A and B are shown apart, each in its own frame.
Chain A
């Protein structure tokens, strides 16, 4: 697990990149939270707080304002007390799942990719969400489209490591 040394490496773990066939938020969150708990990345209360928080404060990001052909993403997360690490967990969804719009919760749209943020140190380093948004808005268009379509966890990990924070 402790195989990384650079800043962008430390935000991703090759064993914490997932492809999910879940068809609902509850199913998806349960599946991923169990895997993260098994790696001690999160605390047992993470799942309940993740689900409740997403209902109260949705995290869907409408990517059509960045590019019309990008799929929408979401950045589910909890308060820092429920996680043990500072990481981004990429999750490709084989079936799009509806999420509420972070900046207009009355609106819902299908989401195809998650950047789940585990952040136990919000003030410590450069803002994780800002780094995600910079990646999404500055990465080469065609390469990012191919990335979103990838179903290979190793390819997802490698692409993120190569293109994040640049």
Chain B
């Protein structure tokens, strides 16, 4: 199971859309992915250790350097395939490079 942490300012709308989209598309690509959606302000170093990939909407200053790969996932929010594909490809590239499963 590949674990992804999605985050946005309120943890309500954008991060949930990214969570749903990543679980669906990565599932379509043959990966078993579980994503969680949280508020940026709730993220700490210990929380990130429980995940394989961090997908905020935009470049995010967490106050510390993330210990896991980061993919800015904002373009997914447009729900336009041409904009979302590079994000999905970046996530899949990390999955392959790190041998995640």
Contact = CB atoms under 8 A, between A and B. Distances in A.
Interface of A: 53, 56-57, 61, 65-66, 75, 77-80, 101-105, 117, 119, 122-123, 127-130, 133-134, 137
A77 B78 contact: no
B13 A78 contact: no
Contacts of B74: 102-104
B11 A130 contact: no
B47 to A, nearest CB: 18
Nearest to B72: A103
B80 A66 contact: yes
Nearest to B82: A65
Given A103-B72, A122-B11, A127-B17, 16 more contacts: A57-B9, A57-B40, A65-B83, A79-B11, A79-B39, A80-B10, A102-B74, A104-B74, A117-B12, A122-B13, A127-B13, A129-B17, A130-B17, A130-B20, A137-B78, A137-B80
Contact of A134 (B8, B79, B83): B79
Interface in B23-64: 37, 39-40, 57-59
Contacts, number: 74
B11 to A, nearest CB: 7
Mostly helix, strand, loop or mixed at chain A's interface? mixed
Contacts of B58: 101-105
A122 B20 contact: no
A135 to B, nearest CB: 10
B13 A103 contact: no
Contacts of A103: 57-58, 72, 74-75, 77
Interface in B52-96: 57-59, 72, 74-75, 77-80, 83
Contacts of B37: 122
B11 A133 contact: no
B16 A53 contact: no
Contacts of A119: 12-13
B75 A133 contact: no
A129 B75 CA distance: 13
Given A57-B40, A65-B83, A103-B72, A79 B12 contact: yes
5 contacts: A57-B57, A65-B83, A102-B77, A103-B74, A127-B13
